[in-house]
Structures are given as C-alpha cells and as structure tokens.
Structure 1
C-alpha cells in the first residue's frame, strides 16, 4: 500500500486518524459523506436505467469474471460497475485495480462496497475505484445501534450525491481502529485453527486479498452443520456483522424465498455459516467454537476462509 502512504500527511503514522472520520481519503479533494442509503443514493445519480449498471450479484455477473466484465463494458454503454469486495457471504475478492483500468477505458465509473474490508483494511480509491460506500451499521458504527452509511470519492462525484443528503443524518464518530484490529487478529487466528480440519481448501482469491488488503477483516465463512450454531454459547444469532459482540448466522435462512436449486447454483448451501468475530477474548471464542465442533460427526467436512487468507501462515 505504498501509494496510500504517500497520500497521508507526514505527521500521521497510520490510517487510524483518517478512519475515525468514517470513510476513506485519497488526498485533500476526497470527501466523505454520511448517508443512510449509500448504495441507492449513489447509483441513482449515475445511471438512467438498469441496463447501464453492472451489478456483481451472481445472477447478473460474477464479480471475479474479468473476461465477462470486459465484454459487457466494451459492448454496452455502461455508466457504472458496482460490486462488493470482499463479497458477502462468500468473501470473494475483486481485482479492483484491474477492474478500474478496464472500466475507465470506456468511461465507466467503478463503485466498491467496502463494508466487509473497512477503510482500515482496504483502500479501494487508491486502487482506482471512483467511489467507495460503506454500511456504517457494521464495523464503522460497531455497536449494533445505528442504521447509517457513508460514501467516499472525489468532490465532484460526492457533490452530485449530496443533493438529497442534507436531511439524512450526521457523521459517525467511531472507535473503529480499536475494534477492527482485535477483530482482524481474532478472525485470522481462528481461521488458522479451522484450517487444521480436513478438506479445507485455499481461498480462490487468496493472491488478490494479499495484494489489495492490509488486513483481512473479522468474518470467517465455513460449511458445517446447523447443530454447530445451536451449540455455540458466546455469539448471538443475528444477520448483522461488525459489532463488538460476535454474531453467527446461516445465510441460506435469509434466502428461503429463493428455490434451493437456485441457491445451490451459486454455492449458497444450507449448511453455510458466517461467523462475525467481535472483541471477546480469543481463547474464549476458540474454546466455544471447538466445543461446538465437537458436537459434529467426524465425517462432516469443514470448509472455511477469512477473506482469502486461511492458508497464509507467514
């Protein structure tokens, strides 16, 4: 992240002083706005109809399908490419630098939802993205008590979005750097513990995650049994993530309206578990997870990854 470091004022030794402003900066002309619906507000201003927006949901385009993206951008008048990176819940990683180069050649804006990575772990603007949005309900808010979001980008772009922002909320004042450091560490250590289980492959975008992120976040996703969730003592069962308390949920349970065959087509198995680590003591969380795993038959395989770094022991 050498390019990012060049942009920081010389008296700042880390990104923590910037991160507490709830967004991402790239020089003095980059601004951050607090807004309750950043995804809706952002896209509303930059495309006239749905055909001009590329969404990275699997039903439209796989965010990691570079050839497919290139073909669409080259053959259609696309105003914006919008994707999460890492994605939720599979934690797939997009080569933001390459995607930005492809899109900008055709005048297509790139908007990255960096909620899972947070501004501490990923600098999408420095990698070439035009806009970065964050659900501040998650890691930035951090205490599961707000509904908020933020948008970071150039003054020109954010000013266009700001038109409807005047009455939509104030800027958050988080303790994000304190929380996210602990969550990064716990998730990585726990991912390495889970890696010891058999049939646990390397994350497919491991190399991209190492290149584009300074750390790897507090989410670990793995396949196990529902009995595992029921046996846990510490985490709450909830659909949110990024808070001080650990959360666990079953993504398929939030998509029962989608036929099972359709869910399986995109890898959304019934036994997929998403674990959001809070700031509890690592040894307590480890003991809780291991005792829950002990309730699972030994023939059950475990698949896990933490934003592409499970197999990285260096």
Structure 2
C-alpha cells in the first residue's frame, strides 16, 4: 500500500533545486498514482497529518505540505522544501545538551542520582519534541539554538563534573522509549473467492460487526472491508454510503469514518480522522453500517480456530436480507484489513 504514492515521491524529487515551492493539482496526483485518492484526502488534516503511510511519500523526497487549496476551481496542494539540520549533528548536539545539563544539576545542586536520571530523561524528551516540531519549519534555526546551549552546557560540564565524570556517564545512559513501528495490516484476510469467500446482503440501516484483540499496544488508522452491489438489482448504479465505527469494550465509539459510496467488490477504505490508540489484549469492535436505502453485500470468510483473534468467534449481523433478526455467523470474519501499527 505504501508504494501507491511512489509516483508522488518521484515527482517531487524531479523538481528543480532552485524551486522552493511547487503546486500540484489533485487531478494530476490522481492520474499519477493511477488510483482514486482516499475519501479522507478531501480533508486538510489528511495532508498535514504526521506518521501516516502516505505522508512518507513527500517526506522521503524532502518536502512538506504548506497549504491545501480546495476552494479554487482546480483543487491543489502546495508543497515546500524542508530545510533539515543534518541528522547526526542534531542528535550529537542533543546528547551534549542533555549530558551537560545533567552534570550541572548533579554537580552544582548535589542532586541524587535518581533525580538526575529523571531530569535528563525529561529534558531529552522535550528536546526531541522540539526537534520534531522545528524539523518541519526551521531546521537550521534549531541547530543554532542547540549549538549555543551545547557550548554553554559543555563549559559547565568541565567546570563542575571533575571526579564525577565516570558516574555521570553511567547515569546518563539513554532510556528506552517505545517507538511506533511500520503501518501494516494488524489483521488481514484475503477476500478471493478461491479461499471460500461468502457474501451476505445487508438491508438499509443494517450492519456487520467484528471484535478483535491486538497483542501489543499501538494505533489503528484505517479499516478496509470488501463490499459490493448485486448488479442484477434495478438500483445497482445508485451510490451506497457507508460508515465504520470503532468501539472499545464498554461500547464507547472511539472513532468514525464515512464514505459517500463504496468501491464495489473491492477493498473500500475507511480512514479515521486521526490514529486511534489501542491497548494490548483488550477487546475492540469495528462496525460497518449501511447508510443507503438499498442493500449492500458484505464479504466474509470462514476462519479456523486461532486464525483471527476474535473473542466472540464470528461476525454479528443486523438486518441481513431474508433474516432481519440480530444473529452471529459462527467461525467467520470480515474480509479486509485493520491497518495500524504497534509500539516496540
């Protein structure tokens, strides 16, 4: 899925180094990636989000989104180059800043070792956060500020550390901070008919819900399900709006995503406005709701025990065609993907 936007990376890489900004029209981007843009691309948040798979397309090329222009006749997105302070130098300066500040605290204030460790850890986190904020704005400005702080801190370091230098090196060892891994399908089921795919028609207002657990803490950014339309129906050409809700164990709606129309007989993507945090080994439920006045076919696949971590063993259907009562299809799971990432 990440290769879907590879064209955008190439397009921005080919821009002349003399150009600091470039405007691309949405129709040009759509033609370049040879695919429809996700529904969420109509929202400015989609373009300016951080740590999402599609954002890497322009970050890899050294660009960021400056503005989104949806009000004009031809909607467009304006990109500008990112001025980044060299990565190794910025990390080195950051390390000098934190070690020097920790040494000053330990030497001047005679703070206990645990207090020095906490102080260094908090300062490291703050400086890392500032680095990320300024990375997209004024990379060299951050570098100059860091350099001044590093020089001042180093002077204090040589003045007050003395005999405590060895213990300081031990006390300032970096603390492991969980990092978010690559986005991928946390739960992925093939919808190919050759693998035993089934389809059930859901009437207007009906739904299909599936529960799941993830073994590690992480985030969910998108739900993809396979839905379709029976072409023999007289209303087959009418749009089928749908929405997907993500709920926790208490039934609270954590996030919701809508589509004005489904992609018939293929994966339809429901992208949440922002990443949804999930806890390890807790039960979550995503629910696909048919908001159109006509039936929608939802694809299922029989699963074996342990293949899908579903604590309720089956998809819960409501207003299924010819069987309107709420019931569960034992040993089944929705065809599609729960897109997200876990912390390491």
TM bucket (normalised to shorter chain) is: under 0.3
Larger Rg: 2
Under a length normalisation based on structure 2, what TM-score does the superposition of the two structures give?
0.24
- The answer to which structure has the higher strand fraction is 2
Under a length normalisation based on structure 1, what TM-score does the superposition of the two structures give?
0.25
